[in-house]
Amino acid sequence: MRSEGVRERWVRTGGVELCVAELGDASQPTVVLVHGYPDSKEVWSEVAARLADRFHVVAYDVRGHGRSTAPLPLRGGFTLEKLTDDFLAVADAVSPDRPVHLVGHDWGSVQAWEFVTVPRTEGRIASFTSMSGPSLDHFAHWIKDRVARPTPRRVGQLLGQGAKSWYVYLLHTPKLPELAWRGPLGRRWPKIFRRVEKVPVGDYPTPSLPQDAIRGAWLYRDNVRARLRRPRTDAYAHAPVQLVTPTGDGFLSERLYDDLGRWAPQLVRRTLPAKHWVPRTRPDQLAAWIDAFVTAHDGGGPTAASAVARGPYAERFGGQLVLVTGAASGIGRATAFAFAEAGARIVAVDRDAEGAARTAEMSRLIGAPAAWAEVVDVGDEPAMEKLAGKVAAEYGVVDVLVNNAGIGLSGSFLDTTSEDWRRVLDVNLWGVIYGCRVFGRQMAERGQGGHIVNTASAAAYQPSRILPAYATSKAAVLMLSECLRAELAGRGIGVSAICPGIVNTNITASARFAGVSEEEEQRRRKRSSRLYGLRNYPPEKVAEAVLRAVVENQAVVNVTPEARGARLLSRLAPGVLRAAARWEPRL
């Protein structure tokens, strides 16, 4: 980490010299970052830079890696006991009077599990954030439990993790890893790494990578077989633990952590749609979670209980930034509340300033760590561009965008004026296009993924003689979502179209009815609102579908029973829908 503001020192311990980098104010809580294999401390540069404004951030090259010296001989020089000695030496040097907050990735996490479970470190660790690296002791008990009580599911879990651990077997073979890293693998690794993990070009991997990988092979050789044969039975965490699990990790199964609550009584779980190297691919999200967890467990901040959201998707959305348009009421408000319950930060956007402010206020009460209200007409492109600039500058890049704002219009095609068409398309279609363009571009430029949700409708595939403008706008939103999904998939950005049927919201109270008098329009609004109320399908169920669509990266979600039925008919018997479209309901 050779950037502005970085201070380096050397710490001597156990016959080696460790290169230690520090950022930020040393009087603030100390966060120690421990890297994995075959990394060096530079793997943390993006995360460290984001934490340095609030914390004293420390990253060190593990013995034999980066600029730290290697033990001689290598065999026996990388045991967990010696790595624990190294950690304590670094902690005593950088924070002699206060416990440190520990963060580990990959083998850095494997080491850190040792640090946080052995008696001699008790009192020196205030919290631990783990990602992509289990305790070897916990892993051994996980294996033994499934061997002792085999079921098809448990055997499948063992075989699945066994396949993912192919590299562990190779690293135990004599000479082969050394030959590979000195030869073609060492030369090609940066390109492989960037292609497979979709990692932006930066200061990683470093030129020391082949040597780091050769020496680091002894992390596996000195520890894995020994601990799997004789795991500790007292490996209980004596500090609060935050577990971050990348759902796309190619080396570790999510099922490895099923029993972790047994070993870590104070456990918070997070999941992230990412691959293995999350310190490089998702530094914003990691920094936000580390920041919140450290603050919760350092005293002077909120209690741990109040800092952790309890909603059904809290593991996934805690700390993320979610922007919802049309958030003053109906589906938009319910969606904002559902994300707030999951611990997300909320930007509630609507033309209705009072309604948006109320949604933001209620989101904070429900569980959002922060929520803001923004007033904008989504059909105004300059206003949307201005909003995107403000959100990025003041709150950050949006992780989840929900383009929900919409208006209703009923009436025959011949009765619908050009102005009616413009207004419906401005909000229902162009509002979605503007949102996807300005916020989707920010997501793509950040390079850390994200998700876009566009609210379409069952009317998108269900023709109607009384909804030509509305149905056309929603059909366009559906196709736009499908096209965007194909385009943005390579950037790690998911796109979902939500297609509800009849939902009990206030859209009917403001809907336009073309070709009728004002008095008749008011009568039809009241009748439509009454019919929607009788159907009484709550917007909260649509909000649940929105969150599930993001978690599962679903393409098209048909929410209500009538929406699912219409979608099925549109594929199997479209003539039935066309015939039904000729019917003119009495309003």
Taken in order of first residue, the domains within the chain and their CATH numbers are 7-307 (3.40.50.1820), 314-505+538-581 (3.40.50.720)
Most confident listed range (94-103, 286-295, 577-586) = 94-103
Q: Are strands 56-60 and 100-105 parallel, antiparallel or unpaired?
A: unpaired
Percent of the chain whose pLDDT exceeds 90: 74
- On average, the pLDDT of the chain sits at 90
In this model, does residue 433 exceed pLDDT 90? yes
The mean per-residue pLDDT over the stretch 247-266 comes to 93
pLDDT tens, position by position, 310-331: 678 988 998 899 999 999 999 9
Per-residue confidence (pLDDT) for residue 270, from 0 to 100: 93
Q: Kindly give the residue spans of alpha helices, DSSP state H, lying in 183-243.
A: 184-197, 209-229
Who's near 333: CB < 8 A, 6+ residues apart? 327, 348, 355, 359, 539
pLDDT-derived band at 584 (thresholds 50, 70, 90) equals confident
The mean per-residue pLDDT over the stretch 153-182 comes to 94
Per-residue confidence (pLDDT) for residue 306, from 0 to 100: 39
Looking at the annotation, which residues are catalytic? Answer: 470
Task: Quote the Cα angle for 441-443-444, to 5°.
Answer: 65
The mean per-residue pLDDT over the stretch 285-300 comes to 88
Q: What residues pair up with 104 in beta bridges, in sequence order?
A: 34, 130
Per-residue confidence (pLDDT) for residue 531, from 0 to 100: 66
Per-residue confidence (pLDDT) for residue 101, from 0 to 100: 98
Q: How far is CA 401 from the centre of its chain?
A: 13
The CA-atom distances, in angstroms, between 83 and each of 90, 110, 221, 348 are 11, 11, 14, 48
The mean per-residue pLDDT over the stretch 396-406 comes to 95
Who's near 414: CB < 8 A, 6+ residues apart? 515
In this model, does residue 406 exceed pLDDT 70? yes
Per-residue confidence (pLDDT) for residue 530, from 0 to 100: 63
> How far apart (Å, rounded) are the C-alpha atoms in residues 571 and 165?
43
- Write the DSSP symbol of residue 97: S
pLDDT-derived band at 408 (thresholds 50, 70, 90) equals confident
Who's near 29: CB < 8 A, 6+ residues apart? 55, 56, 98, 101, 126, 294, 298
- Write the DSSP symbol of residue 414: T
In this model, does residue 360 exceed pLDDT 70? yes
Closest residue by Cα to residue 8 from 70, 71, 60, 47: 60
Q: pTM for this structure?
A: 0.81
Per-residue confidence (pLDDT) for residue 303, from 0 to 100: 39
Per-residue confidence (pLDDT) for residue 177, from 0 to 100: 93
Per-residue confidence (pLDDT) for residue 526, from 0 to 100: 67
* Count of CB atoms situated within 10 Å of the CB of 305: 8
